[in-house]
Amino acid sequence: MQTAFTLAQLADPNIAEAEKILRACVHCGFCTATCPTYVLLGEENDSPRGRIHLIKEMLEAGEAASREVVKHVDRCLSCLSCMTTCPSGVHYMHLVDHARSHVEATYRRPLLDRFIRSKLLRVLTDPKLFRRALHAALFAKPLTPLLSRIGLKPVAAMIRLAPFRLPWSGSTLPRVVTAEGPRRGRVALLTGCVAPALAPEINAAAARVLARHGFEVVRTPGEGCCGSLSHHLGRKDEAHAMARRNIDAWLVEMNNGALDAVITTSSGCGTTMKDYSFMLRHDPAYAAKAASVSAAVRDVMEFLNEIKYLKFVMRRQIKVAYHPACAHAHGQRITEQPKQLLAKAGFQTKEIPESHLCCGSAGTYNILQPELANRLRDRKIAYIEKIEPELIAAGNIGCITQIAAGTGIPVVHPIELIDWATGGLVPKALKVAGGKERM
């Protein structure tokens, strides 16, 4: 695609990077067929190709983002399905990330929208506050129709998503989980912000599996939200500050003893942490540090697949619909590893038709764009139910929450199944009242 940036504009390294991406796009439109918003709405401006064109015009003009551009950029899930499909290697993720920060810097959103976005980030990135909000949401569920009617659709959407069964306490991960048997290494486990409040059992299962297979697992003081929620809302400075704080924390841990990997159980966090090296590439104090941390980041299923010596003590012939989270499949190209591990553990893993399309979770998307998100969730669940699974596995807390809000089929993280199959606990979602197992 031809571009018309001036030399002065290209002196900005962010514009120069955007220009490089724009020039790679040949406008072929292959990506439109796999874009969830284009599939739902059929609008060119809600396709990757349309958005790329809108972003090009916006950046070339060098002016404030218009309401029209903001509408279509906001509707993008950042699912990155278009990157998997694109034959020209267009790095849509870096382009839309830059567009979102341009929007945030130049466009004044309506007051209510600004208020909701800032409170949303404040709550979601603080596990204690988020846990309190989740408990309050249980009592507010009857109010959701009223909240929607008075224009507070995102608040209503957040309350609807709050699960009925909540943990009473947050993450109980100790500072160090000691390796069992012969020691094979040492890893840091990101506790994150949303997972400790919603499902602390996921990180607990990961720590047990890693320790059971010879890894000392450390929870690093000072680490916190990976920054992806802020990053996807265009709050670049906030996201970069979170990235720097985590990098500092993990570098201290690396210097305290060899660290084989920084592990995450959330695909969304993993994609962002692997991108710290790009996000901080122009920061002389952090570029090299960010590159070494990004190189050490592994999704837990990716890491376990690499170490190749899991000891399964139980094989359950359970039919599992594996939902590939977009940040896994498109963001990190982790496609086969989780399915291979589940198959080795004896689970009958089933592909979900149209599995490349997002479930609608996408960070804060299901709160800020609830109508589109619900349509995507209903579409996803209809396909899942067609294959009649006994349970659903998804490697991202956002997908787990989104899908579980629309189906009675239990939804678990694959690491919980691996924990179960290697001698750990039965996944919480497979227990019914009284603590008995469903299957």
Binding site for ligand SF4 (CB under 6 A): 25-31, 35-37, 48-49, 51-52, 76-82, 85-86, 88, 90, 92
CB of 436 to ligand SF4, least distance (A): 41
A 10 A CB-CB count for 433 gives: 6
CB of 39 to ligand SF4, least distance (A): 9
In Å, how far are 194, 197, 405, 434 from 162, measured between CA atoms? Answer: 12, 11, 8, 22
Q: Which is nearer to ligand SF4, 49 or 160 (CB)?
A: 49
Quote the CA–CA distance of 137 and 155 in Å, as a whole number.
Answer: 10
CB of 19 to ligand SF4, least distance (A): 14
Q: Which is nearer to ligand SF4, 119 or 356 (CB)?
A: 356
What angle, 0 to 180 degrees and rounded to 10, lies between the N-to-C axes of helices 414-421 and 337-344? 30
Quote the CA–CA distance of 96 and 77 in Å, as a whole number.
Answer: 10
A 10 A CB-CB count for 183 gives: 11
Q: Which is nearer to ligand SF4, 119 or 375 (CB)?
A: 375
Query: Strand 348-351 to strand 319-323: parallel, antiparallel, or no bridges (unpaired)?
Result: parallel
Residue with tokens 């571009």: 3
Q: Which is nearer to ligand SF4, 6 or 88 (CB)?
A: 88
CB of 96 to ligand SF4, least distance (A): 7
Q: Which is nearer to ligand SF4, 25 or 273 (CB)?
A: 25
CB of 338 to ligand SF4, least distance (A): 21
Q: In this structure, are residues 324 and 299 in contact, taking their beta carbons and an 8 Å threshold? A: no
User: Counting Cβ atoms within 10 Å, is residue 346 exposed (0-12), middle (13-18) or buried (19+)?
Assistant: middle
Give the distance, in angstroms, between the CA of residue 48 and the centroid of all CA atoms in the same chain: 20
Angle at the Cα of 112 (from 110 to 115), degrees rounded to 5?
110
Q: Which is nearer to ligand SF4, 57 or 306 (CB)?
A: 57
Q: Which is nearer to ligand SF4, 46 or 260 (CB)?
A: 46
CB of 231 to ligand SF4, least distance (A): 14
If phi > 0 it is left, if psi is from -120 to 50 it is alpha, else beta; for residue 423 that is left
Q: Which is nearer to ligand SF4, 157 or 329 (CB)?
A: 329
If phi > 0 it is left, if psi is from -120 to 50 it is alpha, else beta; for residue 81 that is alpha
CB of 45 to ligand SF4, least distance (A): 10
Q: Which residues contact 350 (CB under 8 A, 6 or more apart)?
A: 319, 320, 321, 322, 387, 389
Q: How far apart are the first and last CA of the chain?
A: 55
CB of 249 to ligand SF4, least distance (A): 30
Q: Which residues contact 334 (CB under 8 A, 6 or more apart)?
A: 267, 299, 301, 302, 328, 395
Q: Which is nearer to ligand SF4, 77 or 204 (CB)?
A: 77
CB of 104 to ligand SF4, least distance (A): 17
CB of 9 to ligand SF4, least distance (A): 21
Which residues does residue 169 pair with via DSSP β-bridges, in sequence order? none
Q: Which is nearer to ligand SF4, 52 or 120 (CB)?
A: 52
Angle at the Cα of 165 (from 206 to 351), degrees rounded to 5?
55
